[in-house]
Structure 1
Amino acid sequence: MACESALPAIMDEQALLGLNPNADACYRQRALAYFEQLKESRDGWEVCAQALAKGIYGDDHVKFFCFQVLEHQIKFRHGSLTGAQQQLIRETLMKWLQLQLMGGQPEKPFIKNKAAQVLALTFVREYLTIWPKFFFDLLSLVGLNPHGLDIYLRTLMAVDAEVVDRDILHSPEETRRNTLIKDHMRESCIPALVESWYQILQTYQRSHSELTCQCLEVVGAYVSWIDLNLIANDRFVNLLLSHMSVEELREEACDCLFEIINKGMDPVDKTKLVESLSQVLQSAGFFNVEQEEDVDFLAKFSRLVNGMGQALVLSWTKLTKSGDVKVATETLQALEAKVPLLLQLLVHEDDDISANIVGFCYDYLHVLKQLLLLTDQQKNNAEAIMLAVMKKLTYDDEYNFENEGEDEAMFVEYRKQLKMLLDRLAQVSPELVLESVRRVFTSTMQGWQTARFMEVEVAIRLFYMLGEALPASHGAHFTGDGSKASALQDMMRTLISSGVSEYRHTSVTLEFFETVVRYDKFFIVEPQHIPSILMAFLDHRGLRHSSPKVRSRVAYLFSRFIKTLHSDVPFHFLNSKHMNSYIEDILSRIQDLLELAPPENGFQALLSSDDQLFMFETAGVLIVNGESPADRKQALMRSLLTPLLEAFRLLLNKLTQEGDEDRQTALADCLSHAVGFASRTSKAFSNKQTVKLCGCSEVYLDCLQTFLPALSCPVQRGALRSAVRSFLHRMIICLEEEVLPFIPAASEHMLKDCEPKDLQEFIPLISQITAKFKSQVSPFLQQIFMPLVLAIFEVLSQPAEDNDQTAALEKQMLRRSYFSFIQTIASSGMNEVMANQGAENIERVLFTIIQGAVDFPDPIAQKTCFIILSRLVELWGGKDGLVGFPDFIYKHIVPACFLAPLKTTFDLSDAQTVLALSECTLTLKMIHLRRGLEFIQFLQQEYLPSLHVSPEITQELCQVLQQPDTKVVKNYMKAFFQQAKL
């Protein structure tokens, strides 16, 4: 059918068949094409309007389709419709609505929602101009007909979504329009709308609960921006309160009252509103929380009470700041009167109910914190909150530790909220928190053998939480004076000596180790407990626990604990001969946890490879920081790493002969782990304990000899190169110049058959070597410079698909790495590396830097390029500089400094681009410094006139460039280019 012609009498029935979800693909395709045809036609959509107005189709999918076509016209083509067509849309909607009033089969919710959306879009487009009586027309049509009111209320919610909803982003134009719509509605129709809501709520509260709930939702949505007196009056509030007693309505009534309370208003008026509502709710028995069994309602009620409480806190804060002491005191009394209800809800066994009141509780504690002196009642309130927090922190029987799902995640979040309350309580009364936790902890530890796991876990958890709740630096918990230090010390002693580490529940075990490491400074004060704690880490309680989750976490915690022992525990214990023998005992006990698990052995290792990283680091710390002589440290490190090296050689040999791709991947992973483990041991070394001082250089050089052949492995290159490259980074730090003999061969292998990612990761390695060793590596850099540059050029020149974003990003990152490498060489004072490449190669490299500064819209790379150019001008731009370079400055560098900022892609409102311009300006300043008046004359007589810059501006710019204050020059150049681009 030709949709561009006059209005067709019927719709394309064949195309409509494709709207059925079960239709064949060809029918669905035809329906989609028909939809596009109707959307884009000048008047073809009118057939859909006709179908809706006359109720021609009974099929829901066809009706929805017709509304979608109409929606498109209103949304995207309303302005281009004729007056008659706009009138047709209005009439269609009203006729369709009239059909709903006839009481036939009601429409499905998705049809009604789409109709409401179309009505709301029409309202937004036409209310301020051609349909100011939109709501009056709607109301006069529907009257009190429940089918009509259903559409009316849905339309109001759709209008709210279009005009008010703050979660939807609007353009400035839409925001202005929405403000005008709201202003006009307040003046003309809001009182009538409010009256209609009252009538609906009163008429249908018994017979149509769904309609009443819809209406309550509308009131809640609109109350934020209409005159509150229209809602917050006796007749309306009494009606809402009566709904609180109707089971089907009370949750929505609660939400509606919450929105009313939430409305911004004067603090005195807000207090009066909350108090009047509070009195009515209390009289009606809603404060008797224990007698209410409906937890869903109580969750809503808790949210309402939370809103009331927070509103009172806000009022009190404002009144206190304004100095209105009398009214502030009255508001505080009103606030205090809600605390018993707060406590009932906070301690409720349902966590949703409790979580909904946490905000009020937190704010109330903040009020107490600001008061100079607490009354006995306020102290009692704080204590009651403390008891509630301790009770609610406890896990319940249903918590699934092995397979944590959504419920468990919600409880973890809820626990975080409770921790905030505990922290705030500690600010109000640190003594209260300390004594409460101490009491619970001590009594639980005395009888942990017969206590349930959740009681033991929460007791230790509370002790753990004290560390952050009580204001003190980490160590000061035990080294400070007073009762707090001794209380925490007593509790720590009890934790270790009670035997609770034997408790058979993962939550208790984990909490035990977390707390030991949280308070590791305790061992500075009482080092005699170290042996027993080390055993707990090493045996069935920790690293040998039956739970993989516990073993994994303990591997990390053990690593932290060992580091603390070596950095903080007194000299007399750790560095004694006894401790040296103890170190070797630990190493022998963890030996099986340090084995490389080959992919074919089939049995499940105790620790994952990630966990083993911590174990290797721990072993390294034990060896390096002990008091053994260097030869003993070397022997221990060799015995730690030799099994890795032997396994590596075997596995690498297997990999080169393996044909199966999956097996190759598994072997490469294992080889990468081996390199990673060796690398991790090197983290134990420091400026005080270097590889050389510990006699371990030879061991790590052996590692390099063993690992480097993996670079030439023909399969799994990416994974192996990445692992070995990371190891080289570590060795450059640890072995210093002893690593240098290995770099040329390693570099040669890594530059063969490079991918962009390989090159990009290789450049930082070369840059690290350049920055660290400078002139020592100059011969090597001169040799590798052009092969590396050519490899980069080759990768960058490879064609890529236009829409391949990944390839484009990889090239951009590689380009940045390349420029960064050149910058490192230039800034390391090694100009001979580039200067000795031959004139043709130097020129080629220089042109890439000019290109990077001007042609690529990447401000990060442009900034680097200008830094390089500035540095090269400094090195080669003087009278005794590189032959031919001054000519290059005038032909290429000066033009780059002007052409780059003049590009349309050079966005001076972008912070990175401004930094690039800053470096560009410094390059011009450096040219002036090196070439002097000759440069100024070149700008005045040749270059700026070629850009058609006026003589006045030319003169001004040249004067500014000669200014010593670079800030003045930068500001001028920014203004110059902003003006030039207008």
Structure 2
Amino acid sequence: MDEQALLGLNPNADSDFRQRALAYFEQLKISPDAWQVCAEALAQRTYSDDHIKFFCFQVLEHQVKYKYSELTTVQQQLIRETLISWLQAQMLNPQPEKTFIRNKAAQVFALLFVTEYLTKWPKFFFDILSVVDLNPRGVDLYLRVLMAIDSELVDRDVVHTLEEARRNTLIKDTMREQCIPNLVESWYQILQNYQYTNSEVTCQCLEVVGAYVSWIDLSLIANDRFINMLLGHMSIEVLREEACDCLFEIVNKGMDPVDKMKLVESLCQVLQSAGFFSIDQVSKFLYKKLIGSKLNIMFSSLFFFFSLPKSRVSGKPWFSGPFAVETRVHYIILVLFFETVSLLAGTIGTCHNARLFFGQVIVMADLSFQRLEILICEQEERSYSAYYKRTEYGEDEAMFVEYRKQLKLLLDRLAQVSPELLLASVGRVFSSTLQNWQTTRFMDVEVAIRLLYMLAEALPVSHGAHFSGDVSKASALQDMMRTLVTSGVSSYQHTSVTLEFFETVVRYEKFFTVEPQHIPCVLMAFLDHRGLRHSSAKVRSRTAYLFSRFVKSLNKQMNPFIEDILNRIQDLLELSPPENGYQSLLSSADQLFIYETAGVLIVNSEYPAERKQALMRNLLAPLMEKFKILLEKLMLAQDEERQASLADCLNHAVGFASRTSKAFSNKQTVKQCGCSEVYLDCLQTFLPALSCPLQKDILRSGVRTFLHRMIICLEEEVLPFIPSASEHMLKDCEAKDLQEFIPLINQITAKFKVQVSPFLQQMFMPLLRAIFEVLLRPAEENDQCAALEKQMLRRSYFAFLQTVTGSGMSAVIANQGADNVERVLVTVIQGAVEYPDPIAQKTCFIILSKLVELWGGKDGPVGFADFVYKHIVPACFLAPLKQTFDLADAQTVLALSECAVTLKTIHLRRGPECVQYLQQEYLPSLQVAPEIIQEFCQALQQPDAKVFKNYLKVFFQRAKP
């Protein structure tokens, strides 16, 4: 061999040597007899370098895989003898070969096996076994060869030709007849001899058993001696995982469902009798690996079995009577009881299938349903007990919450079958737990309340139907709710119980409409240390939201408690300036709910308007006073950080006032409640913030939001404030400021229409100039953020024009002077044609069609008819013909639809003149064939607009290259 070339096989060799080694390998592959040199080197152990030995095996592999048929019988015999000689040498070698060499040797053995087993080497396995005996190094190689053969014959990831697939099937059939029992016996002997002395070899053997069991006679493996040995391996930590994998492959073997059912049950019985369903006897790892992901397949098999048609299972003696079914249910519940988060995640699929399973079981057998219900209730308790001990939300808890969702699906399924029994079962668990809640673990108390909470969605009828004003007719659900609110469990010192209590009383608010005497005690729970003043910020935050919901849903029952509640929450409404160092109990986000709640109490009260006004002023006056003080401080502040904190606090004040207005409705308007004056005072207080040069983004945003609300609540009373506010908001504008300001103007225009016409006339061009100035500002070519801001502003601008034209205010545009009108119209044409933004294009075509409808007749503005033919008609063709106009995009199709509407509107307003222009001037200028022009004009004149829309899409699909 070329010794210099072999130097390049060393990983540390330089690139020249490596290139020479690669070239040498290619040379040996095409040489007719070079492989013999490699075979001789392996048989005589000429080289000690691992990389050279690997190289020799690679050359042999290539010869066997691609050129074996070209060899003579003598040469083929030489390869067999070389491999056997090498194998014999391993028995005497003082050091075992490196793993990568053993793996490569196994691959060569496997290739030779599939080539010669059916013809020239039928005693392949016997020859190898006679060499290796029980020598650990020989056994290691033997097992590697078996795995390599399995890869060649069975591996589904390997793509085989039809000829290879037929060959592999024939080999497996022959092996089953001639040698599989011997191989199985060799595996048993290996496992028995090495299970305590050589874990590596034992694990290899278990892997082999798991691989081969899919296509050999199952009875050779699924018998007492093998299963008992596997159970023994599960008790040995280093063997545990492979034993679980092996058992999984046994159960996963394809077979008749009835036979699978027998196998699963027999294995379950063996595992249970051996104590492997007891969480105290095996490590958590075992349950994670064995039950969580492997034995899951057993229980999936149970579900599959029960989903079969009755004819497939009827008459089977092993499926007779309720006991057999309950036994199977017992196995399911055992799986559902295991207590690790990893396990729970692993059995989610099982739980999903269990929904169908329980329905099938109940139909097919006389199962004790009550026993099943109790087991499910117990499962909720057990699954909770070990894993809901954290106060912080993490990944494990997220997995647990997801698992609980799956368990809830089981409860829903059970409720569909027998809601009465479900109510009774949950009632027993709930009542027995709450009777002694003071001495019961928190997880048990929480689970009991949780089960009550879940009944609302599980029960097939609205939970409101379960509550009656007649105590003698009260349902189990009403009894449980009475127990919940009178037991004192709201005082339990654990956040999970507290939260579950409040979640449940809010979910079953209809209970309090039939038993309102319990409202005061629940309100106190919300308002004291159990709720809004709890030591946990998490509880306070969630309670703020739930309290808001509770008051809203029971607003008619709140009247006797309104002023007491407002007094008790007064300190929670405090605006916390940054300089006082006071840490509020609630965050600003939580305070929003409290302000909204206060507003709901006032607005929905039975008080006269004067009293409502007084209460609303008492609520909002402190905000207005603090706002004035903080705004003065902001104007004088020098430190940027202090400026930001003051602006943030001012924004919160505006937000709180805005949130109180959520309480008003069509039935209870601001004017009817006598509160207009209070909100007008708020407007006068907040609007000066628009002229503040500091922190203008956050201040403008807050005031703008408040204006949106006041337009809805105060209606025309807000109009005097709009011009001044708009003037301030248009100063020193950025793209984002304008983009957020335009919806306010749109709202005013759409709501008040002619009433705001003078205002729109005045501010129309200043607004447009501000927009154009921002759009024309130069920006860096690759500044994606600036490009997106301009795109969004352009959309807002077109949306503004659409609102003006669509609200009957087109005169606002027409009165801006001829030059300005033309400039506006040109921007709309540009939006329809030049910018590849289908959303903006659609809006532009809507504007154009509306303007044509309004101005396109004989009495339209001077020069508009010419504009229609010079610009609008061409836009309807130029835009769809652009390459960026993608007719496969849904938004673009909508834009094309509006383009069709524009053309139809032009035809309706201009009549035959439009058709004549298209036929004689415009379409010929586009080089459109005469027959297509005729076809187009006929479609345009169709009375059904939908026909023309469909035609236009086809027209442009044909026209575009």
CA shift digits 1:281-302 (9 cap, x unpaired) = 5347667444542332234443
Cα 1:424–1:887, aligned 2, differ >3 Å: closer, same or farther? same
1:418 pairs, out of 407, 429, 446, with 407
Equivalent residue letter for 1:421: L
Cα 1:410–1:842, aligned 2, differ >3 Å: closer, same or farther? same
Q: 1:70 is matched with which residue?
A: none
Cα deviation, residue 213, structure 1: 5.4
2:219 pairs, out of 234, 238, 246, with 234
2:669 pairs, out of 658, 667, 690, with 690
Answer yes or no: is the 8 Å Cα contact 2:838–2:891 preserved in 1.
Answer: yes
| Residue 886, structure 1, aligned to residue 865, structure 2 | yes
Equivalent residue letter for 1:618: T
| Residue 933, structure 1, aligned to residue 888, structure 2 | no
Q: 1:503 is matched with which residue?
A: 492
Answer yes or no: is the 8 Å Cα contact 1:434–1:484 preserved in 2.
Answer: no
Equivalent residue letter for 2:690: L
Answer yes or no: is the 8 Å Cα contact 2:438–2:492 preserved in 1.
Answer: yes
Cα deviation, residue 872, structure 1: 1.3
Cα deviation, residue 889, structure 1: 1.5
Identity %: 60
Cα deviation, residue 723, structure 1: 0.9
Structure 2 residue runs without a partner (length 5+): 28-37, 42-47, 56-85, 119-123, 130-137
CA distance in structure 1 between the aligned counterparts of 2:202 and 2:857, rounded to whole angstroms? 86
1:920 pairs, out of 891, 894, 899, with 899
Q: Where in structure 2 are the equivalents of 1:831-980 lying within 5 Å?
A: 831-980=810-959
1:525 pairs, out of 498, 502, 514, with 514
Q: 1:272 is matched with which residue?
A: 259
1:307 pairs, out of 297, 301, 312, with 297
CA shift digits 1:13-46 (9 cap, x unpaired) = 9999xxxxxxxxxxxxxxxxx9xx99xx999997
Q: 1:749 is matched with which residue?
A: 728
Answer yes or no: is the 8 Å Cα contact 1:649–1:706 preserved in 2.
Answer: yes
Answer yes or no: is the 8 Å Cα contact 1:477–1:484 preserved in 2.
Answer: no
Cα deviation, residue 325, structure 1: 6.5
1:427 pairs, out of 388, 391, 416, with 416
Answer yes or no: is the 8 Å Cα contact 2:603–2:668 preserved in 1.
Answer: yes
SS at match of 2:367: helix
| Residue 772, structure 1, aligned to residue 761, structure 2 | no
Cα 1:253–1:925, aligned 2, differ >3 Å: closer, same or farther? farther
CA distance in structure 2 between the aligned counterparts of 1:847 and 1:107, rounded to whole angstroms? 79
Moved more, 946-955 or 438-447: 438-447
CA distance in structure 1 between the aligned counterparts of 2:764 and 2:149, rounded to whole angstroms? 70
What is the TM-score when the length of structure 1 is the normalising length?
0.78
Q: Where in structure 2 are the equivalents of 1:131-150 lying within 5 Å?
A: 146=140
Equivalent residue letter for 2:543: V
Equivalent residue letter for 1:439: R
Cα deviation, residue 950, structure 1: 0.9
Equivalent residue letter for 1:234: S
Q: 2:623 is matched with which residue?
A: 644
CA distance in structure 1 between the aligned counterparts of 2:641 and 2:564, rounded to whole angstroms? 39
SS at match of 2:233: coil
Q: 2:269 is matched with which residue?
A: 282
Answer yes or no: is the 8 Å Cα contact 1:437–1:462 preserved in 2.
Answer: yes
CA shift digits 1:503-534 (9 cap, x unpaired) = 22222222221111111111110112222222
Answer yes or no: is the 8 Å Cα contact 1:281–1:287 preserved in 2.
Answer: no
Q: 1:438 is matched with which residue?
A: 427
Cα deviation, residue 626, structure 1: 0.9
Answer yes or no: is the 8 Å Cα contact 1:559–1:614 preserved in 2.
Answer: yes
Q: 2:554 is matched with which residue?
A: 565
Cα 1:331–1:376, aligned 2, differ >3 Å: closer, same or farther? closer
Q: How many residues align?
A: 871
Moved more, 864-873 or 684-693: 864-873
SS at match of 2:883: coil
Answer yes or no: is the 8 Å Cα contact 1:478–1:521 preserved in 2.
Answer: yes
Equivalent residue letter for 1:804: D
| Residue 616, structure 1, aligned to residue 595, structure 2 | yes
Larger radius of gyration: 2
2:285 pairs, out of 296, 299, 304, with 296
Cα deviation, residue 487, structure 1: 1.7
Cα deviation, residue 481, structure 1: 9.3
Cα 1:877–1:670, aligned 2, differ >3 Å: closer, same or farther? same
Q: 1:827 is matched with which residue?
A: 806
Structure 1 residue runs without a partner (length 5+): 1-6, 17-33, 68-97, 120-126, 165-177
CA distance in structure 2 between the aligned counterparts of 1:480 and 1:134, rounded to whole angstroms? 88
CA shift digits 1:911-961 (9 cap, x unpaired) = 221111111111111111111111111111111112211111111111111
Answer yes or no: is the 8 Å Cα contact 2:341–2:399 preserved in 1.
Answer: no
Cα 1:538–1:388, aligned 2, differ >3 Å: closer, same or farther? closer
Equivalent residue letter for 1:617: E
Cα deviation, residue 500, structure 1: 2.0
CA distance in structure 1 between the aligned counterparts of 2:679 and 2:116, rounded to whole angstroms? 82
Answer yes or no: is the 8 Å Cα contact 2:326–2:367 preserved in 1.
Answer: no
Answer yes or no: is the 8 Å Cα contact 1:389–1:421 preserved in 2.
Answer: no
Cα deviation, residue 702, structure 1: 1.1
Cα 1:446–1:278, aligned 2, differ >3 Å: closer, same or farther? closer
Q: 2:76 is matched with which residue?
A: none
Cα deviation, residue 457, structure 1: 2.0
| Residue 409, structure 1, aligned to residue 398, structure 2 | yes
2:336 pairs, out of 346, 357, 365, with 346
SS at match of 1:230: coil
Q: 1:123 is matched with which residue?
A: none
CA distance in structure 1 between the aligned counterparts of 2:871 and 2:698, rounded to whole angstroms? 42
Cα 1:942–1:45, aligned 2, differ >3 Å: closer, same or farther? farther
CA shift digits 1:697-719 (9 cap, x unpaired) = 11111111111111121121111
| Residue 702, structure 1, aligned to residue 692, structure 2 | no
CA distance in structure 2 between the aligned counterparts of 1:798 and 1:981, rounded to whole angstroms? 34
CA shift digits 1:625-676 (9 cap, x unpaired) = 1111111111111111111111111111111221212111111111111111
SS at match of 2:763: helix
Q: Where in structure 2 are the equivalents of 1:159-558 lying within 5 Å?
A: 186-189=165-168, 206=194, 209=199, 230=215, 233-235=218-220, 241=227, 242-243=229-230, 245-247=232-234, 248-255=238-245, 258=248, 269-280=256-267, 282-283=269-270, 288-290=275-277, 292-303=281-292, 304-320=294-310, 324=312, 326=314, 337-350=327-340, 352-353=342-343, 356-357=346-347, 359-360=349-350, 363-369=353-359, 375-379=365-369, 381-396=371-386, 399-479=388-468, 485-558=474-547
Answer yes or no: is the 8 Å Cα contact 2:7–2:13 preserved in 1.
Answer: no
Cα deviation, residue 694, structure 1: 0.9
CA distance in structure 2 between the aligned counterparts of 1:962 and 1:59, rounded to whole angstroms? 89
SS at match of 2:506: helix
SS at match of 1:847: helix
